[in-house]
Every structure is written in structure tokens, then in C-alpha cells.
A and B are shown apart, each in its own frame.
Chain A
Amino acid sequence: MRSSLFFFLVATLVGALFFFGIRWVANDYLFFAGYTVLQFIVLATAWNILGGYCGYVNFGSAAFFAVGAYSSVALHKLAAGVDRYFPEALVGLAKIVLPLNIPTLIIFGGICSGLIGLGTGYLTLRLRGAFFAIATLALAVVLQTLIVNWDFVGGSRGAYIIRPQSVPIIGSYIQYLFLIMVVLSVLALTVARMIERSRLGYGFATIRDDELAAEACGVPTLRLKLIATTISGALMGMAGAPFPYYIGYLEPGSAFGLAYAVNSIAMPMIGGTTSWVGPLVGALLLGIIQQVATVTISSAVNLLIVGLLLVGFVIVAPKGIVGLVQDFMRARASDEGRPTWRSRLAIFANMRPGAR
């Protein structure tokens, strides 16, 4: 617990430095680009809780992300038409409560996506490997079809969200959104690291390694899988909730975009899947490369870059960047029984020798 608190404080400090550093540069574009990178940190970390820790590959990340985004759109629309959608007796109350601020929308988006995650987990409890992956892909298609046919949130036409120009204290709205995403990233990374080092983390690792043996050791695998799908889904939804305010116009094609599903998988795979560090490194690396490519070449090459890097890493370093580094870290970690800077760093990053 103390170690998690320490981690949270360090991560918050780094996040604050990041925010004030970019603010000092005074270029709004950096906030736009940074927001996307941070959003991928949350998505990749969320994916890794189910895909990396438990070994259940989720191809439907975009669906969870979109549920978060569309929950915000729905609440935004509701706020815009209080007189139309609420009975007279409740209009007064609704006008006090609505419109909701972004942190509340994030909590709401997290709850919606978490429930979808719980439902997905429940329906796919007995599925493993490719069958589970296909089921999550099907979930994305089903949800996209539902959204396309739901007029209230814009259907296939999409929905415009007019965001305020500025917010008190912070100033520019994009800086506010960026700060929110910094907080979400810190939260997601802290959650991931806490899970790794807990009883739950050991349970997840046994599910990844051998479910039959896990059950024989007393691990309630079905319950743990439900917990993993719920936490993973909730974090993805939380990442999606502020998205309509970032992009201004949300349509099903962008919310359910292939880029989210592919990046959520590729980033942890390239970074390494058994430690919270992996998705962070992968998201920073791929996110920054994609942002640079967007302004120097074209955003159309983003997925090509991801694909090429993924193929390269699968061949050269299947355990990801963390896998490459951890052998070096553990090299002389316990030779003389005294902790070294390497062993301390390895423990902080929760790197296990030889872990995938």
C-alpha cells in the first residue's frame, strides 16, 4: 500500500511536470498531440489488464472507448434538451444537475463501459484464445450497429459537441482536457501497478499461465476474469468519455475506429505485457511516432507504422521492450544478496525474470 502511494505521488509529480513543461512551451498543438498520446496510455494500460495480465486478447477496445464517448454525448444531448426530455416536475432539478462536468462524465462513462465489460465477461466466460478475441470483435460490431441506429446520439450522421472556449483557473479548454487525461493516465497506471503487486495480480497471472492449475490452487478464475473485464472496460470507457469534447464532432466511424483497437493491442505488445511499464513505453513510443508522422508525412501512414513495428517486435523482441530490458536489469540483481540500483528498479517496475 505504501509503495502504491509512493508510486502515485511520483506519477502525479511526473504528470504535473509534463503539464507545466508543455504549458511553459506555450504551444497549444502540443496539448492536442499530448492528449492523444495520454489517451493511448490509458487505453493500452486498460487493455493490458485483461490482455497482458490475464492473457485474454480483446479486439473490441474501440467499443469500450466508444461507449464512454457516446455516454458523454448522450448526457450532453440530455442537458441541451432538458425541457423536452424531462417531465415538468423534474425540469428544475435537471437544470441544476445538467450539464455535467467532464470528471463526472468520465465516472459515468467508466460505469457504462465497466458494465459492458462485465456483461462481455459473463457472456464469454467459457471462451479462450481466438474464440474470445472473435467474441470481443463481434461486440464492437454489435455496439457500432446500435449506435448507428440510435438517433438521439446522432446515429450515422454523428453529433456535434460545442465545447466552451475556456475554463476558470486553467484557461484554455484543451489544456483542461489535457490535464484531465494526465490525471486519468496516472490513475490507470496506479491501478495497473497495484493489481500487479496484489493477490489479484497473482490470480491474473495464474489465469494467463494455466487456468486448470489455477483452479486447483483455489483461484476463482471465473470471478477474476469478470473483475478483469470490468476494470479494463471501465478504464477504456473513462478514456473515451472526454473524447467528444476533444474532437468536437463524434461519429460512429471515428469512435469505433480501427486505430483504437489496433493501437490498444500493439502498444502493450511492443512495450511488454507483464508489467505496467510496457503499455506506458509502447504508448509513448508509438503515440509520439504517430503524432510526428501525422504532421510530417500524413496521418494515413499511422497504422502502417504500427503494423511494421508490431511485425518487427514480434520477430526480434517478442517480449517487448520491457522484456529486452528486464534481463539486463536482473543480470546481477541477487548475486551478493544486496539490492543494487538495477534490482531496485526491477522491483519498482515489477519486472519478473523471463516473464513474457
Chain B
Amino acid sequence: MAEPLLQVDNLGKRFGGFVALDGINLSVTQGERLGLIGPNGSGKSTLVNCMCGTLQNETGSVRFDGHVVDGLAAHQRTHRGMARSFQLPRPFTTLSVAENLRVPLLYTANTRRGTHLSPAEITARCEELTGLVGLAAKADKLPRDLTQVEMRKLELARAMAAEPKLLIADEAMAGLSQSEVGDIVELLIKLNERGVTIILIEHIMRAVMSFSQRLVVLVSGKKIADGKPDDVVNNPEVIGAYLGQ
């Protein structure tokens, strides 16, 4: 069996006396679409932060693409092919949409390739990405001129600009209308079809169910279920965690 793209072993993280992650094991294979759900405060974002290097795990390890990445800074993990979008969009507010996309192209795509993209190639990639997410008409606008859904799309496009092997979308649909959620799911599936492995952290079950091939549930920093989406949502332990027993 091929080695998984991401392997998280016994991952633990505490904030003072609060145990945010308690021995999480997770494995993601190349090209997979994984949904990660859990009630508020269950440790989803902490897990993402530990995987991406924004936080350092205290126990356990993270293996990505065959290498242990523990101790590496966030930007180094991005260089290795791990990209993320944030729960609350964090665009570079003084840079235009196209310039926002230019940053990961300059700092990550170039670093990984070993050769530098020419300015024309960078511009072409920016145009391709803005076209892919439907922001071509707003490429020269500042993030403050974007709607909520456009901001989310920019967030995803910026993560894509780093040419990742794994994209972690942290609540990419929070606060969006039903049709907008559909747009983002469609976009994520389109990205996955291009060969990008995706972990989707989400509360909107309709989106999670239509997107995920596998579903993982976290509760109070522990993994309580991992399997096919239909099986997981019917798991009594999961129902209990969401609805209370």
C-alpha cells in the first residue's frame, strides 16, 4: 500500500491545563477528499494549526509526503506542499486580489520548482487562478471591495497559488448562503480533480456530505469516528456528541 500523504501520529497539544488535542491519529492518502467535523471547541482548528506549523505539537508527530515535519516553521511546511485557508479570511489588505495571489507564487511555487518563474509566467498563473475561482473581473480590486463569498474564494485561490499537494480548508463556507456554499463545494471538487488532496473542516453538514469521501469526527480533542460519511453520521457516539446524550 502506498505511503499516505499525511500521517498524524498520537498528536497532543495543551493550552495550560486545557487538553486541546489528545493523541490524534490520522492518515490521509494522495488525492483523497477528507471531511473533518466536530462541535465548537473540539480541536479542529488546533489540529490544523499543528499540522501546518502555526502551533507546535507537544507530543506525537506529523509526517508529510514521506518526511517528518515536526519543528518546521509554517512557511517551510508550505514550501513542502501543505497549504491552508483560514477560518476567517485573512487577505493582505493593502495588496490587490492579483497581488495576493502573487505572494505564494513568488515565495512558494518558485522555491519548490528550484527555478524562478518569469514575471510573465507569474502574471499568467494569477490570471488562471482568478479565472478558476471567478475573480477575474476583480483582479485589480482590493480585498475590501470583495463580497464575503469572493473573499472565501480569494482565500482558496491564494492557497492554490502555492501549488499544494494538500489543501486544508478551514471552515471555508462559514456565513455563506446555500447557493454560495454550493459554489465553494464545486470549486473544491474542481481543485481535487486537479490532483490536490483536500481536508475540509466544516460545520455545514450538507456541504461536508456532498464533498467528503471519508469523514473524521473530533470531540474534546479526541477522534471518535473515522469512516465513510454515511456510516459516521449514523454512528451513535457521533449523534450523541452533537445532540447530547
Q: Which A positions have Cβ atoms within 8 angstroms of B?
A: 199, 202-203, 205-206, 208-210, 212-222, 274, 334, 352-356
Contact = CB atoms under 8 A, between A and B. Distances in A.
B104 A217 contact: yes
A334 B140 contact: yes
A301 B144 CA distance: 41
B51 to A, nearest CB: 12
Interface of B: 52-54, 73-76, 78-79, 83-84, 86, 90-96, 99, 102-104, 106-108, 111, 140, 142, 144, 158-159, 161-162
Nearest to B83: A216
Given A205-B94, A274-B94, A356-B94, A215 B54 contact: yes
A202 B75 CA distance: 15
A216 B92 contact: no
Contact of B92 (A205, A222, A354): A205
B94 A216 contact: no
Contacts of A214: 75, 92, 103
Given A214-B103, A354-B144, A220 B96 contact: no
A219 B107 contact: yes
A216 B52 contact: yes
A315 B162 CA distance: 40
A310 to B, nearest CB: 21
Given A216-B78, A217-B158, A353-B142, A202 B103 contact: yes
Q: Which of A205, A209, A213, A218 has the most CB of B within 10 A?
A: A218
Task: Across the A-B interface, give the 8 residue pairs with the lowest CB-CB distance, nearest first.
Answer: A218-B108, A215-B74, A213-B90, A218-B78, A218-B107, A209-B92, A217-B104, A355-B94
A214 B93 CA distance: 12
A219 B94 contact: no
A352 B75 contact: no
Contacts of B158: 217
A216 B74 contact: yes
B95 A209 contact: yes
B95 A205 contact: yes
A218 B54 CA distance: 12
Given A209-B95, A216-B78, 14 more contacts: A199-B106, A202-B95, A202-B107, A203-B107, A209-B92, A215-B73, A216-B86, A217-B158, A218-B108, A218-B162, A221-B75, A334-B140, A354-B142, A354-B144
Contacts of A220: 73, 75-76, 107
Contact of B96 (A213, A217, A221, A352): A352
Contact of B75 (A205, A219, A356): A219
Nearest to B80: A218
A196 to B, nearest CB: 12
A216 B79 CA distance: 9
A319 B142 CA distance: 16
A217 B78 contact: yes
6 contacts: A199-B107, A212-B86, A214-B75, A215-B75, A215-B78, A216-B83
Contacts of B104: 217-218
A356 to B, nearest CB: 6
Contacts of A203: 103, 106-107
Contacts of B102: 202
Contacts of B107: 199, 202-203, 217-220
